[in-house]
Chains A and B, each alone.
Chain A
């Protein structure tokens, strides 16, 4: 790189070497989305065998902390994403709903496995036929139970969703427009 080009780059770059450390200029919303997607704290709603796979995902071999989601919060008030892993019976459904409502916004939901997504093999009087009848689901993961890789794939999909989320003002404007 010649001295001349280096000079012009510096004068136009959004980087000031006089300021200590690294500074990146970006939009606030993009920065917030980036922070959110890389520190998703899960609420482990483990209700059946899928929860075993969820635990495996959290353990050393699969290591969910590579995606910033290792902080399993057993208090809904500190959680960002509810991972519904297992069979939701009607008796449990209202408790799941209540915990979901105790989670602060913004929040997301992953339906992990066949039971949480659709009731799975439990075509029964006692089982809720899919958690989406109760809460808004962002990502469905197939499998009975899904492998930890599948859960991580789901988590990465959710990260991609969060990455592309619009600022709140735009979201509200969009809703207003849709309502006419």
Chain B
């Protein structure tokens, strides 16, 4: 979201009003938290209430455009995963983010009936993170092949990959990283933040 522009400010204002509306409609137990950062509004919802909140956004608040469904792996925390919905309107009037914590083994209710585009987004989340969606019409892998044994974006999965074998379908191996991956580290010190080999190979 652009900060300071007229559009960005009005977007933020409208989404902020919608966040308050959601809190009023569903209460503190279902809509747990409301956050604002640089004009972007995020609403954290209880997983059990996710479908009805999203449905309300689609039907009553006019969010007719689902930009993205993604997931976050907070390994070591409980609940471990988080699912993120980016809602918007086709005329770019407002933009709202919804998040819900997902524990390991928990399933998320599919929203394909609300936004058709959720079909492929949810398949990607399933493929990469291993979260399953109840009520999805065609929940199979979308990027990796059907039968691949891992979910590569989970934190415990090494960047170089793991060997797997599926005769006549596909196989995979370990990529040589030669001391890498070479990545930047967040921090205040610019020198230590330079890209360095992590030595994870």
B84 → A minimal CB distance (Å): 23
In this assembly, does B177 line the interface, its C-beta being within 8 Å of a C-beta of chain A?
yes
Given A91-B144, A91-B145, answer yes or no on A127-B170 (Cβ-Cβ < 8 Å).
Answer: no
Given A91-B144, A129-B175, A129-B176, answer yes or no on A123-B168 (Cβ-Cβ < 8 Å).
Answer: no
Determine whether the beta carbon of A123 is less than 8 Å from that of B144: no
Determine whether the beta carbon of A123 is less than 8 Å from that of B157: no
Determine whether the beta carbon of B159 is less than 8 Å from that of A126: no
Given A91-B144, A91-B145, A129-B176, answer yes or no on A123-B160 (Cβ-Cβ < 8 Å).
Answer: yes
In this assembly, does B181 line the interface, its C-beta being within 8 Å of a C-beta of chain A?
yes
A interface vs B, CB < 8 Å?
A: 90-91, 93-94, 119, 122-129, 133
Determine whether the beta carbon of B171 is less than 8 Å from that of A119: no
Nearest-CB residue, chain B, relative to A119: B175
A126 CB contacts on chain B under 8 angstroms: 143-144, 152, 161, 172
In this assembly, does B173 line the interface, its C-beta being within 8 Å of a C-beta of chain A?
yes
List 13 extra interface pairs beyond A90-B171, A94-B169, A122-B175, CB under 8 A: A90-B172, A91-B144, A91-B145, A91-B170, A94-B170, A119-B175, A123-B178, A123-B180, A124-B159, A124-B160, A126-B152, A126-B161, A126-B172
Determine whether the beta carbon of B152 is less than 8 Å from that of A123: no
CA distance A124 to B161 in the complex (A): 6
A125 interface neighbour in B161, B176, B178, Cβ under 8 Å: B161
In this assembly, does B162 line the interface, its C-beta being within 8 Å of a C-beta of chain A?
yes
CA distance A174 to B12 in the complex (A): 76
**B interface residues, tally (CB under 8 Å):** 23
CA distance A173 to B173 in the complex (A): 36
Given A91-B144, A91-B145, answer yes or no on A127-B169 (Cβ-Cβ < 8 Å).
Answer: no
Given A91-B144, A91-B145, answer yes or no on A123-B181 (Cβ-Cβ < 8 Å).
Answer: yes
B73 → A minimal CB distance (Å): 15
Determine whether the beta carbon of B175 is less than 8 Å from that of A90: no
Determine whether the beta carbon of A93 is less than 8 Å from that of B159: no
CA distance A127 to B144 in the complex (A): 11
Given A124-B175, A126-B152, answer yes or no on A94-B168 (Cβ-Cβ < 8 Å).
Answer: yes
B171 CB contacts on chain A under 8 angstroms: 90, 93
CA distance A93 to B10 in the complex (A): 49
A93, A123, A125, most chain B CB atoms within 10 A: A125
Given A91-B144, A91-B145, answer yes or no on A125-B170 (Cβ-Cβ < 8 Å).
Answer: no
B172 interface neighbour in A119, A122, A123, A125, Cβ under 8 Å: A125
Determine whether the beta carbon of A125 is less than 8 Å from that of B162: yes
Determine whether the beta carbon of A125 is less than 8 Å from that of B159: yes
Nearest-CB residue, chain B, relative to A93: B170
Given A91-B144, A91-B145, answer yes or no on A123-B170 (Cβ-Cβ < 8 Å).
Answer: no
Determine whether the beta carbon of B173 is less than 8 Å from that of A123: no
CA distance A90 to B175 in the complex (A): 12
Nearest-CB residue, chain A, relative to B178: A123
CA distance A126 to B159 in the complex (A): 9
Nearest-CB residue, chain A, relative to B141: A91
Nearest-CB residue, chain B, relative to A90: B172
Determine whether the beta carbon of A125 is less than 8 Å from that of B157: yes
B164 → A minimal CB distance (Å): 9
Determine whether the beta carbon of B176 is less than 8 Å from that of A123: yes
Determine whether the beta carbon of A123 is less than 8 Å from that of B169: no
CA distance A128 to B170 in the complex (A): 11
